[in-house]
Amino acid sequence: MNRTTAGGELTNSFKKYKLNMSNQSRIIGAGHYVPEKVVTNQDLEKLMNTTDEWIVERTGIHQRRYFEEGKDTTASMGTEAAKRAIQHAGIDKNEIELIVFATLSPDYYFPGCGVLLQKELELPHIAALDVRNQCSGFIYGLSVADQFIKTGMYKTVLVVGSETQSNFVEYSDRHRHIAVIFGDGAGAIVMQRSEEKNKGILSTHLYSDGSMAEELFCPHPGTRLKTRITHEMIDDGSLLAHMNGNLVFKHAVTRFEECITTALEKNNYTINELDLLIPHQANLRIADFITRKFKLPVEKVFNNIQKYGNTTAASIPIALSEAWAEGRVKENTLLCMAAFGSGFTWASALVRM
């Protein structure tokens, strides 16, 4: 507990805490994993009353990846992405002190995937926690890791976003507006304490609006309606995700603009000084709207939804990993990541690499 002496001086423990508040956290490595199975729009045409033209026009998606039973799980994909991020960071895995795992599609109802990844990486007894903020889960997780590092509690943190979503969509006409969107995959980053000023995570900004919770949600399995799963729920679609697409789009473009602007203004930057924007890969139309709104050249916005679909909590770390590998993320790159999704929750992070 923080105390003062009779003379009013801070104790040594509080002085140490105050000193650690000046720490910076940096992203030192990134990695991603996507399943081998490629599912094209033409493949989906055989399962539902849809067309490649319809899907591309409304989402920008041409293909996505689906997990393979017996090979890929949310935790195992996260583990593979984590191994690649650790290798990219050039650290020993035993330096990791905390795992933050973001997903809406865990392997089990409980426990969460964080401890499963901890087991797979063979990192006994380190802390592991799960974040359930859906599409904005990765940035929420990054912000959690940032706080732990800046306060001095941990030096090295692994943040993972991983999703297995193709097993909860229904390939039918009643669910096609959602089934065509989602894909599977995982991305991860390694964050580490740094004493270098004006670099690393400059700020994170987290928001929510629970009044919109039922506009994009999956009601079952859950306890709010106080009923057990029944065969009738399967028949009437109660086990399926529900989305008010037009309302989600309207709020998404507004909140994206707000949280990106806030991140830049907080750090006294203008949009023209931004080197790269990585938006959550929800819909290419949203990303294009934001690109036009900020008058950004297309080379300053990274999109890969065309080949992966919406991988929810995994979309930003997958994109960051790919952008880094392509040389679009370099030393001193001013990078903004932003997301919006179910909850509604939305978030942004501004980073000087």
Residues catalogued as catalytic: 135, 280, 310
Q: Identify the burial level of 149 via C-beta atoms within 10 angstroms of its C-beta, where 0-12 means exposed, 13-18 middle and 19 or more buried.
A: buried
User: How big is the CA angle at 108 (ends 238 and 104), to the nearest 5 degrees?
Assistant: 60
Task: Tell me which residue has tokens 């290419």.
Answer: 284
Reduced to 3 states (helix: H, G, I; strand: E, B; else coil), residue 245 is helix
**Contact assessment for residue 58 and residue 178, using Cβ atoms and an 8 Å cutoff:** no
Is the link from the previous residue into 344 a cis peptide, with omega within 30 of 0?
yes
- For residues 30 and 317, what is the distance between their CA atoms, to the nearest angstrom? 7
- For residues 101 and 227, what is the distance between their CA atoms, to the nearest angstrom? 29
**Contact assessment for residue 79 and residue 118, using Cβ atoms and an 8 Å cutoff:** no
48-69: b or e for each residue (b if 16 or more CB lie within 10 Å)?
A: bebebeebeebbbbbbbbbbee
- For residues 220 and 242, what is the distance between their CA atoms, to the nearest angstrom? 11
Sequence-separated (6 or more) residues with CB below 8 Å from residue 145: 25, 98, 100, 154, 157, 159, 191
Reduced to 3 states (helix: H, G, I; strand: E, B; else coil), residue 322 is helix
Q: What are phi and psi of 22, to 5 degrees?
A: -90, 0
Looking at the DSSP bridge assignments, the partners of residue 76 are: none
SS3 content of the chain, % helix, strand, coil (to 5): 40, 25, 35
One-letter identity of residue 162: S
- For residues 123 and 69, what is the distance between their CA atoms, to the nearest angstrom? 26
